[in-house]
Structure 1
Amino acid sequence: MTGKKGLVIGIANEHSLAWAAARNFHAAGADLAVTYLNDKARPFVEPLATEIDASILLPCDVAQDGQLEAVFGAMTRTWGHLDFVLHAVAWSPSEDLHGRLTDCSADGFAQAMLVSCHSFIRTGKLAEPLMRTGGSLMTLSFLGAERVVDHYGVMGPVKAALESSVRYLAHELGPKGIRVNAISAGTVRTRAASGIEHFDELIDETERKSPLRRTVTADEVGRAALLLASDYTTAITGEVMHVDAGFHVNGMVFH
């Protein structure tokens, strides 16, 4: 990855899957741009950006007009091209996340879709002109996009839309050599996962029922991101790669 330029959107703290990926990108020699959500998040992210010698560190709240565009503007001025992007952004209003999908508000659904799904589409549009010789776009998903996971609520349909977007973007951007994939990560204790009710029960079920009889680590997800960013996967696009200790093969509904 020496000489490669990459953007990581969505690091919240040292437990983030995005941080595990950034560490692996950096260890492999990539030069990185890193974002933080807002001033409250900056003290948690800035030391991490320093640790990996990030060339660019900027705020990026994808719900705020112009911030994502400003990040791409900075990369255009600093690098002039881009090789890969990891999008690790998801959010829903808590009342909609913790309630039934049946009761989800229209506004809450729209906000969750805007932040968690449409921001990836926008990222693809902004990355396209910088990936003149091809590149890799990646996002993070979860098994709740494919199957019912209790307490995942509105994020199930939203992640399903994200995975569908991966396929459509792969189709549209493929002629330019741009690959688009998702990583469906298993249960890892992250800040995002802490918002899911009864998450400990899901971890216990994963340890009992996955083929490997364990959960996964953030670093395992990060290494998968490195693989998809690298030239070892130049023929892989439109895929949802499960990094979940094989849990998805059981075909069960969680209760």
Structure 2
Amino acid sequence: MLKGKKGLVVGVANDRSLAYGCARHFHAEGADLAITYLNAKTEKYVQPLAEALDCEIARACDVSVPGELESVFEEIAVKWGRLDFALHSIGYARAEDLHGRVIDCSSEGFAHAMNVSVHSFLRMAKLAEPLMTSGGCLLALTYYGGQKAMQHYGMMGPVKGALETAIAYMALELGHKGIRVNGISPGPVATRSASGLRNFDELLDHTAKRSPEHRLITLDDVGALAAFLVSDGASAMTGNISYVDGGYHAMG
């Protein structure tokens, strides 16, 4: 389904991360991949995955450090000369802002969370645009907590809400170039980033009980959807938030 396509996956942390689940499906469908991870500390977990995925490019990228994201795209431009799709799988808020009340978040903490979690996706789009001369697809991972207020999700709720609105505007602005922009909203999965949320086990239990399918989702559920969305089969889909949560979002 993706044979001959070149794709970038930003935000792989380990073999349990959603980004890796997506990368695994992109690779299985024939795509050539570039992946990034946060820093040298993360590298030991990601390099074996990059090798298993036959990644032509695998490097550290901290989007909060000036020039690092730009350097990734410069390497893609030199080695590939084009890009067909890119996945943004980054979300971060400082612990004091994540665990505290939203109204107590400092302006600095708010700006940092938005910069890492939302503005970096806008930057990715701007950098990808000249490489997507024949169109392409940009994907970002979001969560239902950006639509409805949820206990213990804290500052990431407003962050994901902003991300989903940005997706709609990016779709509007890039559509005439054949560049599609979509979001994937998975149900909760036990990932490294999710471990920072308070009472996460309770959220998992609540989700499984409330969703019509009465189950939790897997990395493969998310990866299969991501592979479809970046394929030519989804060429008429843009500006969407696609839920893969066992129907949780549809329950009253």
TM-score between the two structures when normalised by the length of structure 1: 0.98
Cα deviation code 1:176-205 (max 9, x no counterpart): 000000001101100111111011111111
- Deviation string, structure 1 residues 40-78 (Cα, Å, up to 9, x no partner): 111011110000000001111000000000000000000
Matches within 5 A, 1:90-239: 90-239=91-240
The corresponding residue for 2:8 is 7
State the secondary structure of the residue aligned to 1:119: helix
CA distance in 2, matches of 1:169, 1:178: 9
Partners of 1:248 and 1:142 lie apart in 2 by: 10
Query: Is residue 17 from structure 1 mapped to residue 42 from structure 2 by the alignment?
Result: no
Structure 1 position 172, deviation (Å)? 0.1
Q: What CA distance in whole angstroms lies between the structure 1 residues aligned with 2:162 and 2:171?
A: 14
Amino acid at match of 1:161: A
> Which one-letter code corresponds to 2:129 in the other structure?
E
- The size of the alignment, in residue pairs, is 251
2:58 counterpart residue number:
57
C-alpha displacement at 1:250, in angstroms? 1.1
Deviation at 1:102, TM superposition (A): 1.3
CA-to-partner distance for each residue in 1:23-50, whole Å, 9 max, x for gaps? 0000100000011111111101111000
Q: Distance in 2 between matches of 1:222 and 1:106?
A: 35
User: Which runs of at least 4 in structure 1 moved beyond 4 Å after TM superposition?
Assistant: none
Distance in 1 separating the partners of 2:219 and 2:41: 23
- TM-score normalised per structure 2: 0.99
Supply the distance in 2 between the matched residues of 1:36 and 1:206 (Cα, whole angstroms).
Answer: 29
Q: Distance in 1 between matches of 2:224 and 2:106?
A: 37
Question: What do you get for the CA RMSD once the two structures are aligned?
Answer: 0.6
Any stretches of 5+ residues in structure 2 without a counterpart? none
Q: Deviations over 1:107-158 (max 9, x none)?
A: 1111000000000000000000000000000000000000011010010001
Amino acid at match of 2:64: A
Show the counterpart of 1:39: 40
Measured after TM superposition, the shift of residue 162 of structure 1 is 0.2
